[in-house]
Structure 1
Amino acid sequence: METLLIYKDDLSNKFWKINVTGNSFTVTYGKVSTVGAVKTKEFESEEICQKEANKLIQSKLKKGYVVAGSSEHVVKESAITEAFFWKLLETAKKKGEDPDEQLEWLVNHLSRRSVKDIVMFDYIFNQYYYKSYTSNLWAAAYIVMGGCSDDSFDYFRAWLLYLGKGTYETIIQDPEKIIPHLKILEEEGDVPEFEDLLYVASMAYEEKTGFDDEHYYNLYEQLSDDKYVQPKMEFDWDEDDEEGLSNKFPVLWERYGENPLG
């Protein structure tokens, strides 16, 4: 349930919005046409949550707020677009000599933006991240690293996203195009994984608010309406079938089949 109220007089033009989901609600408030501030609260039951939400709504109505006819031009959802998301990743690469320093800059930058911007950054990241959950890509990661667990594939996909949109999309279509991007890792004896990139948003949120990742993920669920459920993977390859893997990706197999990274 979502309720959007506005209040306007000679001195004020502001909004107040509450979104109730299960046993918690999120309140967004501020000047009209801004993203506003965000607060969230959790209760012991859905019934208690709804009751408290109704009390807040009635309190606002008594103070002169009225129900908004439309949310258009009332609440600015976020300044983070897909183009800006990819630009942030590219900028981060210039802000440090190694991924750890770059990640630190990215977390710090996001922590200075609005909570909605943090959530939108994470939402866009996740939409691309979900698309990379493919059998082909997992087979490629398995060959490159000489094995690839569920967790390892998660970290591999995060690393892939960090390469940038064009490279990400190219490798999704043809995993063997990944080879040029592995040369530095070969020299350093490293593997193509970037686990901490998965937690950038929750780290930025904690730095901004002091609340932990559990608090953030509850908020993310309410603000993003991200309903994704990871599907069961249908593999078209067998980890014990070396001939099948070599036939599937001959170039990758020739380079890493007997000499995987890591």
Structure 2
Amino acid sequence: MDIDGFWELVERSARETENRQARVAWLKDQLCGLSAEEIVDFDVWFTVCANRACSWDMYAVFWTITGFGSSDGFEYFMNWLISLGRDAFEKVADCPDRILELPQVQRLFELSKNFSHERTTWGRDGEFRLRRVTRIRRELWPGEDYPKFELLRYVTFEPYKRATGLETDGLGDAVRARGVRSKFPFLTYHAEPDGEDWDFGDEAEFARRLPRLARHYGLG
């Protein structure tokens, strides 16, 4: 399976189903019909794509939109970005500030725009950084819209076990044998996002790195 085949399956899973649960089931069913090598291919391409977009600027986007930061949460956010399809992913993978162009993100803002509240934002080192009014209330986002998709990452596990009789650790070994290592969750694997680490609570730096997102939130 090449990268085109990977994206075709991801995008077809959205077209063929009506919700995330059904989408995961559809992908598992499709993968169960493939060879073990092709299942590993799918996992490799998923890992390659997620790694490509794993940057500190993207982490800042995740941290700002969702209102919190965590290694696991960032991984699930990346799964969600991949689930949006190739065009959406390509738009933001190398330029996270274009996240505002995605209709799915615009919908999040629409869902929460009537629920402004004051929020104190803290830097990742635990120190107070800024205080601002935000229009994001995570609890008001329906599950199908929430910008995380944990289960998408696990769709290869059962098909691989059926095809090989091996546990899921064998899948990870097979992916690494191809020379691909996941950066997620980066705290677990002692990896770091690409680029320079920076203080997300520094409004001037935020505006320099992510000007469009900064304008949306009234920063800088």
TM-score (norm 2): 0.69
SS at match of 1:93: helix
Higher relative CO (Cα under 8 Å, sequence separation at least 6) belongs to 2
Q: Give the Å deviation of 1:196.
A: 1.3
More strand by share: 1
Larger Cα-atom Rg: 1
Q: Flag the 1:136–1:82 CA change in 2: closer, same or farther, 3 A.
A: same
Alignment of 1:91-106 (within 5 A): 91-106=12-27
**Cα-Cα RMSD:** 2.6
1:183 aligned residue (91, 101, 106): 106
Map 1:132-171 to 2 at 5 A.
132-171=53-92
Aligned partner of 2:168 in structure 1 is 213
Instruction: In structure 2, list runs of 5 or more residues that go unmatched.
Output: 112-139
Q: 2-side partners of 1:154 and 1:134: how far apart?
A: 12
Indicate conservation of the 8 Å contact 1:90/1:164, yes or no: yes
Of residues 100, 123, 136, the one that matches 2:44 is 123
What's the counterpart of residue 29 of structure 2? 108
> What residue identity is the alignment partner of 1:216?
L
Aligned partners of 2:79 and 2:152 also within 8 Å: yes
Q: Does 1:244 align with 2:205?
A: yes
Count, aligned residues: 178
Which deviates more from structure 2 when the two are superposed, residues 197-206 or residues 177-186? Answer: 177-186
Q: Are 1:200 and 2:155 counterparts? A: yes
Please list, as runs of the form range in 1=range in 2, the aligned pairs for 1:1-20 lying within 5 A after superposition. none
Quick one: which amino acid aligns to residue 177 of structure 1? R
Query: What percentage of residue pairs aligned between the two structures are identical?
Result: 27
Give distance in 2, aligned partners of 1:218 and 1:247: 40
Q: Specify the alignment match of 1:226 in structure 2.
A: 180
Looking at structure 2, the residues matched to 209 and 115 of structure 1 have their Cα atoms a distance apart, in angstroms, of: 7
State the shift of 1:174 in Å. 2.6
TM-score when normalising by structure 1: 0.59
5+ unaligned residues in a row in structure 1: which ranges?
1-79
For residue 153 of structure 1, report the CA deviation from its aligned partner: 1.0
Paired residue type of 1:158: N
- The Cα of 1:94 is off from its aligned counterpart by 1.4
